[in-house]
């Protein structure tokens, strides 16, 4: 973050090329500064043992524990058919739980000599399941030998820092590398203004870096973390405050709907009344549209709360005022779906210039990458002449060839699929910056909204429209109770017998080529211990059509199909011609088939909490109650099962998004939510650090208002440049 010569020093010069290469490839660390900002995830105390009971599946972990017993077994294998294969099983304990370590072949000799009962060590490896028990296969380890001189020096003080590590680089090796570069911390330039630091009683940046990597007491860790949290929160909030400040200086055309225009004609033909929430949010949007600087608003709402209707009313208001509106969707399936539902909702109002179109009608066009040349040419012509008031499309809308007559409003659906730059590219197509409305159906806790979408004002729709049915959700433990899975397919048949339809969702498509390198190799016992690959759409559809759902019409839908085929499948499903649709997560957002009442999610543990909530929102969209079955083979005590239990227990997306954040690391959530440096949070925990974020936001606004160019804050400018560089770099990588 700190562009200072000592901290800019490449790691290969300091640590040597082999270590530096691993750090760059696996941890994204390139300079001394990067390594100093790679903070320990937690600390171990000499006298205290870690909890083995809470280990996460499939993650690289480091634990400190004691060897309880070690046994060497012989077995026959392809390599040693005479029973000379060797396997060493070591059980370690922390006083609360036990964990099995396993070593094979020639790898057993060293641990067999060293890991004797009573030995304490740090172990690092990837947690897997074998015979329904957690284990580490071939973990790396470092013995903790009493308090010899060397051990005391290596793990200075009583606290052992444990770093986020990888299979190629264990925590203690990262610790030794940090030890080497730590003296450079003295040269770190402080991004916080002195007045802020002193006013809040925060330690200096060099002191914080020293204390986070080499604490002598828990108070050292607290002081360092508090200070580093402030760095992250404050620099980020300054970046957002500057963005808001710059946006507020831009001119925009105020767009006010005509008294008896398209919007009122549309409202008159609605077969239902708007919810109070929809009215309130619409009023906020119309107020923004009427001002002479661009609206930047985030509309977040529960799955099925009617966001599309609110966005459509905003688009119609802009068309009324003589402008055009563009709706940007993340996938072709979703763009086509939006186009269909907008045209249906508007009826003859969407037939501008056509026979039978209403007097005040406009044209609604679709623009996607896979359209035929003639249709595409016509759509581009309708946009440039202004004939089309509303355009709905995918990334194709951002291309240089696309020109608008007068673009007044951009609506971005599912913001986390688009980077900031893509938003800006589309906004650049207006004569003056258009107004911007961003929609997301992934409910976002308030502090995350402040961190990720801090440059946008927020509106929340949390009321479901009348007539929406409740969704019952249940976990189906397929491994523990196979009978439950059989019952799940019976339930699907019952729904179809009652005239309804069902979705079956799988994590994978199934037409991927198997890796030839892997195929040629004999599987070793530790490969066998790895989990099976996730279930695939093509295999599951085939199995269901020939087995449990024989006689029903089963179709597949996934991202690698030709767009025309995808659209045809969706149309047949929407028309009720298909009983069961086996799909990947392409149906996650926006797909609206009210007659679909049941959903079975296979390998549900492979999806995130928010994603499961999104998927579940595809059923229960009509008057019949919805059913969502989460199928998993994970053992009952595993964190994955607890996560699924949480999803089954509540339909409140905001509650689930908090659980999601608490269970995953912020980086994943923020990384999804924005391109760029928003995902680079290291010590700031968005849920827990609500206060820090709010205070940092106030301080940032004050600093930017007083000095928008930050002339008086060179250290802060440096940190910001680094943040923005990182953002640009990540955006370019995403392409």
Tens digits of residue pLDDT in 220-267: 999 999 999 998 889 888 988 888 888 888 888 999 988 888 999 999
pLDDT of residue 5: 63
**Mean pLDDT within 725-734:** 46
pLDDT band at 572 (very low <50, low <70, confident <90, very high): very high
The model's pLDDT over 441-470, given as tens digits with 9 standing for 90+, comes to: 766 766 677 766 677 788 888 776 666 677
pLDDT band at 525 (very low <50, low <70, confident <90, very high): very low
Percent over 90 (pLDDT), the chain:
25
pLDDT of residue 419: 58
pLDDT of residue 433: 86
Sequential DSSP letters for 673-727 = HSSSGGGG-SS--TTTTHHHHHHHHHHHHHHHHH-TT-TT-HHHHHHHHHHHHHH
pLDDT band at 379 (very low <50, low <70, confident <90, very high): very high
The model's pLDDT over 105-134, given as tens digits with 9 standing for 90+, comes to: 888 888 999 999 988 888 877 788 887 788
pLDDT of residue 559: 80
The pTM for the full model equals 0.64
Flag the least confident range among 263-267, 608-612, 675-679, 720-724.
Answer: 675-679
Conformation bin of residue 583: beta by default, left when phi > 0, alpha when psi is -120 to 50 = beta
pLDDT of residue 77: 66
**Mean pLDDT within 318-323:** 92
Distances (CA, A) of 294 to 254, 297, 416: 8, 10, 21
Place of tokens 């905001």: 654
**Mean pLDDT within 196-214:** 92
**Mean pLDDT within 460-484:** 81
pLDDT of residue 581: 92
Do residues 503 and 82 make contact, with C-beta atoms less than 8 angstroms apart?
no
Chain-wide mean pLDDT for the chain?
A: 80
- Kindly tell me the burial class for residue 428, based on how many C-beta atoms sit within 10 Å of its own C-beta (0-12, 13-18, 19 or more): exposed
pLDDT of residue 415: 57
- Kindly tell me the burial class for residue 519, based on how many C-beta atoms sit within 10 Å of its own C-beta (0-12, 13-18, 19 or more): exposed
The model's pLDDT over 663-691, given as tens digits with 9 standing for 90+, comes to: 654 444 343 333 333 335 666 666 677 78
92 vs 659, residue with greater confidence: 92
CA triplet 234, 452, 465: central angle to 5 degrees?
140
Flag the least confident range among 412-416, 542-546, 594-598.
Answer: 412-416
Q: Please enumerate in sequence order all residues whose Cβ is within 8 A of that of 428, keeping only pairs 6 or more positions apart, or say none.
A: none
Sequential DSSP letters for 493-522 = HHHHHTT-EEEEE-SB-S-PPPPHHHHHSP
**Mean pLDDT within 397-424:** 77
Q: Please enumerate in sequence order all residues whose Cβ is within 8 A of that of 585, keeping only pairs 6 or more positions apart, or say none.
A: 505, 507, 607, 611, 615
Neighbours of 350 (CB within 10 A): 23
CA 694/CA 692 separation, integer angstroms:
6
**Mean pLDDT within 173-180:** 88
Label residues 92-104 b or e (16+ Cβ within 10 Å = b): bebeebbbebbbb
- Kindly tell me the burial class for residue 405, based on how many C-beta atoms sit within 10 Å of its own C-beta (0-12, 13-18, 19 or more): middle
**Encoding tokens for residue 444?**
């976002």
Sequential DSSP letters for 339-360 = HHHHHHHHGGGGBTTSTT--TT
pLDDT of residue 512: 60
DSSP conformational letter for 603: T
pLDDT of residue 494: 94
Flag the least confident range among 417-431, 448-462, 501-515.
Answer: 417-431
pLDDT of residue 275: 86
Q: Find residue 121's DSSP bridge partners.
A: 65, 143
pLDDT of residue 161: 84
pLDDT band at 1 (very low <50, low <70, confident <90, very high): very low
pLDDT of residue 79: 63
pLDDT of residue 730: 45
pLDDT band at 734 (very low <50, low <70, confident <90, very high): very low
The model's pLDDT over 16-46, given as tens digits with 9 standing for 90+, comes to: 888 889 888 888 888 898 889 888 888 876 5
Count CA atoms closer than 13 A to 684's CA, side-chain side: 29
């Amino acid at each position: 973050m700190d562009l200072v010569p000592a901290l800019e020093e490449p790691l290969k010069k300091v640590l040597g090329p082999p270590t530096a290469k691993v750090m760059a490839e696996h941890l994204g660390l390139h300079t001394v500064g990067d390594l100093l900002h790679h903070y320990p995830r937690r600390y171990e105390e000499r006298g205290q043992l870690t909890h083995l009971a809470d280990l996460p599946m499939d993650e690289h972990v480091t634990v400190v524990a004691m060897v309880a017993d070690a046994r060497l077994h012989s077995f026959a294998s392809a390599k040693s058919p005479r029973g000379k294969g060797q396997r060493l099983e070591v059980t370690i304990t922390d006083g609360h739980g036990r964990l099995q370590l396993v070593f094979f072949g020639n790898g057993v000799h060293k641990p067999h000599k060293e890991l004797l009962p009573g030995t304490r060590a740090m172990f690092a490896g990837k947690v897997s399941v074998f015979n329904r028990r957690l284990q580490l296969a071939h973990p790396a380890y470092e013995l903790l030998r009493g308090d010899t001189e060397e051990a005391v020096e290596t793990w200075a003080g009583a606290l052992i820092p444990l770093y986020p590590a990888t299979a190629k680089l264990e925590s203690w090796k990262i610790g030794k590398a940090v030890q080497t570069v730590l003296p450079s911390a003295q040269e770190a330039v402080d991004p916080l203004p002195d007045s802020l630091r002193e006013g809040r009683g925060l330690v200096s940046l060099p002191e914080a870096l020293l204390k986070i990597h080499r604490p002598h007491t828990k108070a050292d860790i607290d002081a360092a973390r508090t200070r580093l949290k402030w760095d992250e929160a404050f620099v980020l909030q300054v970046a957002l405050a500057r963005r808001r400040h710059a946006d507020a200086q831009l001119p925009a055309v105020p767009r006010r709907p005509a008294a008896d225009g398209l919007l009122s004609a549309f409202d008159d033909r609605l077969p239902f009344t708007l919810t109070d929430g929809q009215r309130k949010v619409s009023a906020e949007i119309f107020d923004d549209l009427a001002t002479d600087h661009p609206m930047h608003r985030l509309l977040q709402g529960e799955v099925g709360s009617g966001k599309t209707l609110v966005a459509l009313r905003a688009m119609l208001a802009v068309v009324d005022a003589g402008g055009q509106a563009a709706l940007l969707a993340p996938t072709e399936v979703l763009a086509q779906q939006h186009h269909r539902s907008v045209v249906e909702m508007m009826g003859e109002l969407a037939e501008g210039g056509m026979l039978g179109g209403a007097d005040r009608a406009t044209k609604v066009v679709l623009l996607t990458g896979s359209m035929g040349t003639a249709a595409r040419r016509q759509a581009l012509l309708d946009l440039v002449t202004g004939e089309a008031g509303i355009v709905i499309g995918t990334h194709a809308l951002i291309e240089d060839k696309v020109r608008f007559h007068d673009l007044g409003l951009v609506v971005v659906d599912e913001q986390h699929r688009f980077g900031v730059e893509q938003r800006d590219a589309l906004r650049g197509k207006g004569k003056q910056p258009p107004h911007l409305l961003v929609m997301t159906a992934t409910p976002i806790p308030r502090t995350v909204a402040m961190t990720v979408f801090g440059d946008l004002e927020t509106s929340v729709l949390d009321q479901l429209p009348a007539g929406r049915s409740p969704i019952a959700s249940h976990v189906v433990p397929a491994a523990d109770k196979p009978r439950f899975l059989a019952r799940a397919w019976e339930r699907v048949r019952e729904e179809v017998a009652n005239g309804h339809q069902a979705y079956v969702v799988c994590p994978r498509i199934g037409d991927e080529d198997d890796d030839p390198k892997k195929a040629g190799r004999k599987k070793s016992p530790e490969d066998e211990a790895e989990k099976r690959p996730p279930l695939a759409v093509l295999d599951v559809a085939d199995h269901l059509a020939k087995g449990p759902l024989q006689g029903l019409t089963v179709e597949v839908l996934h991202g690698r199909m030709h767009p025309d085929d995808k659209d045809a499948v969706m149309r047949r499903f929407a028309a009720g011609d298909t009983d069961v649709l086996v799909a990947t997560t392409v149906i996650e957002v926006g797909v609206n088939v009210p007659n679909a009442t049941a959903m079975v999610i296979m390998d549900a543990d492979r999806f995130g909490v928010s994603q499961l909530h999104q998927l579940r929102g595809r059923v229960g969209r009509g008057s019949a109650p919805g059913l969502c079955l989460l199928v998993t083979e994970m053992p009952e005590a595993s964190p994955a099962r607890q996560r699924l239990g949480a999803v089954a227990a509540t339909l409140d997306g905001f509650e689930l998004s908090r659980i999601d954040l608490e269970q995953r690391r912020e980086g994943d959530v923020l990384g999804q939510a924005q391109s760029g440096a928003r995902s680079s949070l290291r010590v700031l925990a968005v849920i827990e650090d609500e206060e820090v974020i709010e205070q940092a936001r106030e301080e940032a606004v004050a600093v930017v208002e007083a000095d928008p160019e930050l002339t008086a804050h060179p250290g802060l400018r440096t940190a910001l440049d680094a943040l923005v560089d990182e953002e640009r770099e990540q955006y370019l990588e995403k392409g």
